[in-house]
Structure 1
Amino acid sequence: MSKLDNNPRSLAVTALTRVKNGAYSNLQLNQMIDQANMSQRDAGLMTTIVYGVIQHRMTIDYQLEPFIKNQKKVADWVMILLETAVYQMQYLERVPKRAIFDESIQIAKTRGHEGIRRFVTGVLHQMDRVGINDPADIDDPIKRQSLTYSVPEWLISAFNEQLGEKKANSVLESINHPANQSVRVATDQISMADATAALEEEGYKVTPSQVSAAGLVLGGKPANQAKLFHDGQITIQDESAMLPAESMHIKPDMMILDACSAPGGKTVQIAGQLSAEERGQVVALDIHDHKVRLVQQNAKRMHVDDRVVTQAIDARKIQTVFEDQTFDEILVDAPCSGIGLVRRKPEIRYEKQLKDVQALSKIQLAILDAVAQKVKINGIITYSTCTILNQENRDVVSAFLADHPNFESQRVVTDRDLKADRTTDYLEIYPDDYDTDGFFIGQFKRVR
């Protein structure tokens, strides 16, 4: 590898170019960190730049616009190189401007030709001389919020309408913070105390989760390097993503359906509370074969594959396969817009539109309709999403209960009794509540 190949700023440009062409930011970063021979510090800088540019892209492009006459004629990687420079100038206080300019111009020269080097040099120096636009000066309030937080206007409007402006601003402020690194401990295999001690011995900074009883927040190095991870005693999972399974009423001998299971984080969490000796089992469905294989791999790694049965099927067609089978409990962790994951997957905000949200809410209801006949009387359906939009959450719950008088809303209770003073049965977790992903959980009990 050349020196440039190990340069964190150059690698950030490569990663961002691939993300722009459809790669997932988190997967792309993991792959490049594994392949490049970088120090932990350089890997951290690359990660910060990649997430930072994606998080603030609309703001950065607004600030670059006056200095580039025709952005469409500029090659993607050159535009991205300029975005990384502006991001560092605006958001990384400890990085000297001279270092940003020198590195950016050197990357332009090495990766491109003399004309590109001159272009990048000219843009950076002109920005330095003239100064850049401040979104706070924009008169239109929606546009101002949009370009301040780098979030599309339709989403700004939805947040303001559904949350009120104060809560909306708090959520918007929080989604550009770095995501915590959290793991769930497989407490069927190791105690929280022993897991904490083992991780600390390996040099991790370990903090108990304030959200999930089985969660730990780790600092210091990637969680997948831990011995406990390789031994299948911890798994990487956001704290709020642990709550749907945690809130279920699982007994060791139950037959449970996980209707939308891939990649299997919640499947293995459920399976860890079941007993193969008592014939407890979780049936895990997903529409795609390759995703079902991920669930199988996850179950094997976490030593619960003796309690997991997988099948590639669209949950909306469950009646065609499980004609006579019913389940004690059902989890529908529904396909959704993923707006609650914006901190962890920042590109989501640019990829989704209101019409996508409306289409997904119909799919969510169709899945609930299909599985409603498969839960036993007195059994419970747990419905969860990783979004914070009412169309996919509150509205779906209301529509389901209105269409199914044989179900009653149940209060969602977690081990930490989160939001104990709320007036709703369903539980809403916003990104600013606990510094986690946004999540929604509702529960319905079949009464006849």
Structure 2
Amino acid sequence: MTNKINKTPRYLAVELLERVEKSGAYSNLALNQAITSNDLSKRDAHLLTNIVYGVIQHKLTLEYYLVPFIKNPQKLQNWVKQLLLTALYQQLYLDNIPKRAVFNETIEIAKVKGHAGIRKFVTGVLHAIDRKGLPKIEQINDPLERLSVKTSTPLWLVKQLVKELGEKKASSILSSINQAPKQTIRINTKLETKEQVIESLAKEQIVATPSLVTPLALQIESGFIPTSETFKAGKVIVQDESAMLAVESMNIAPNDKVLDACAAPGGKTTQIAANLTDGMVYGLDIHKHKVKLIQENAKRAQVQTQVQAKQLDARKVSEVFEKESFDKILVDAPCSGIGLMRRKPEVKYEKQLADSKNLHRIQVEILNAVAPHLKVGGILTYSTCTILDEENQQTVTEFLQQHPEFEQVKTQTAANLKPERKELGLAIYPDDYLSDGFYIATLVKKN
């Protein structure tokens, strides 16, 4: 039984969740490794993925439910806690799994991983939950704490979003982030039209429908893109709809010389390159292995002749490039990634408000460093995948205060998103189009 159970999705889920919490391992990388090394069937891989992401996504909610049943939480071993959270998640969120199956295997895992005392403890907790029922979230008096537990979002982030956007919008955003993320792709216009891509995918039994966010995107209704021939041929790039908007808003001309200051893994670099014929895009990253990634993605997208990838800190561009040498500059800045909560649920537990303040300083430094290298009349586009103002408009405002030669103009997209907004920058929130959260500012260099 031991050999059999330690290869099951439920057992592997406990091990993965323990590793993610203890060592900060990335859940997506740990999952891929576990699926491959254990040679899991498609069904088992799906269950493992569902449990791991589900427990991470609903972690604070599940922990709240568990509190009344654990007398000494400080003495609870991490793996035992993860085991109980996986059992709770399956009972609450997975309709097609019988309670008996969840109970039996959870108790068996406790026996195999621990000792008789742990097995007895886990059995007792499961039966107590079954007998007494779970505490009601509605009984939490404080509305912000209640929203925190209900949406499994740290209290500091709930408070910050309510402060910046109001309770109604914050609640709408946080209620949307626990939905499954959409699988979206960008059409490589260098190689094929939208119609050709849809047709190519259909031949591979992959159903794709046009996006309302951008004409460059397709939503995948069924099928797995990374193993498709269409993907391998470079005709499509896996990318979120919101992430495509920064380059789309730049209006790249065929002969532009463009700097992509923070380029890895190269999604936006290849998007820029797809618009170039005689022009060139220089993609920078501080890490050597990530520069290689940019080059590999450019080659797969068949735009390598328009891409030059360089290992360079964006704050040191003056060491390599002449002043006023670029028509367009993109700063897709390092950020807290809070806009990616749906796709990378662990991000909301890893970050603190202090991280945003530190990143704000780095973001301003990068903008200051690249500004002299833009031609007069050129466009500097600033983007992030966060929804916190400190890293978005506040960064842009501080830069503009130091650079009167720059002016912020209204960011425009092909689908004319949010035309009625008063703000010049474009903020896409996770509840707007069920895409990633994103921010884009467009800055023009004046005479």
Q: Is the 8 A contact 1:26 1:344 kept in 2?
A: no
Question: How many residues get paired?
Answer: 445
Question: Residue 321 in 1 paired to residue 320 in 2?
Answer: yes
Shift of 1:6: 4.2
Which of the residues 224, 229, 232 maps onto 1:230? 232
How far apart are residue 36 of structure 1 and its match?
A: 3.5
Match of residue 330 from structure 2: 331
C-alpha deviation, 1:209, in angstroms? 1.3
**Aligned twin of 2:281:** 282
Residue identity matched to 1:373: P
2:206 and 2:224 in contact (8 A); partners too: no
TM normalised by structure 1 equals 0.95
- Distance in 1 (CA, whole Å) between partners of 2:166 and 2:189 is 40
Secondary structure of the corresponding residue to residue 356 of structure 1: helix
Q: Structure 2 matches for 1:240-389, cutoff 5 A?
A: 240-275=242-277, 278=278, 280-324=279-323, 326-389=325-388
Equivalence for 1:441 = 440
State whether structure 2 residue 198 is matched by structure 1 residue 173: no
On the 8 A contact 2:148/2:154 being kept in 1, the answer is yes
1:363-396 deviation digits (Å, cap 9, x = unpaired):
1111111111110000000000000011111111
**How much does 1:354 deviate?**
0.7
**In percent, how many aligned pairs have the same letter?**
51
Give the deviation of 1:3 after TM superposition.
3.5
Residue aligning to 1:133: 135
Q: What whole-Å deviation, never above 9, does each CA across 1:150-196 have from its counterpart, x for those lacking one?
A: 11111111111111111111000001111111111111101111111
Corresponding position of 1:8: 9
Task: Name the aligned partner's letter for residue 266 of structure 1.
Answer: K
Runs of 4+ in 1 over 4 A off after TM superposition: none
Deviation for aligned residue 1:74 = 2.7
Local SS of the residue matching 1:441:
strand
- Displacement of 1:268: 0.9
Residue 360 of structure 2 aligns to a residue whose secondary structure is helix
Shift of residue 324, structure 1, vs aligned partner: 4.4
Equivalent of 2:152, from 150, 153, 168? 150
CA distance in 2, matches of 1:16, 1:45: 14
Query: One-letter code of the match for 2:391?
Result: E
Within the candidate set 202, 207, 211, 1:200 is matched to 202
Q: Secondary structure at the match of 2:252?
A: coil
2:324–2:375 CA contact under 8 A, matched in 1: no
Q: State which of 198, 209, 212 in structure 1 corresponds to 2:211.
A: 209
Q: Quick check: 1:398 aligned with 2:397? A: yes
Is the Cα contact below 8 Å between 2:338 and 2:387 reproduced in 1? yes
Q: Which residue of 2 aligns with 1:19?
A: 20
Structure 1 unaligned blocks of 5 or more = none
Whole-angstrom distance in 1 between the partners of 2:433 and 2:386? 15
Which stretch of structure 1 is more off in the superposition, 432-441 or 230-239? 230-239
Structure 2 segments unaligned to the other structure (5+ residues): none
How high is the TM-score relative to the length of structure 2? 0.96
**Contact 2:283 2:307 (8 Å CA) reproduced:** yes
Contact kept in structure 2, 1:397 and 1:442, CA below 8 Å: yes
Which segment is superposed worse, 291-300 or 334-343? 291-300
8 A contact 1:185–1:192 mirrored in 2: yes
**Which of 67, 70, 82 does residue 68 from structure 1 map onto?**
70
TM-fit CA distance, 1:248: 0.9
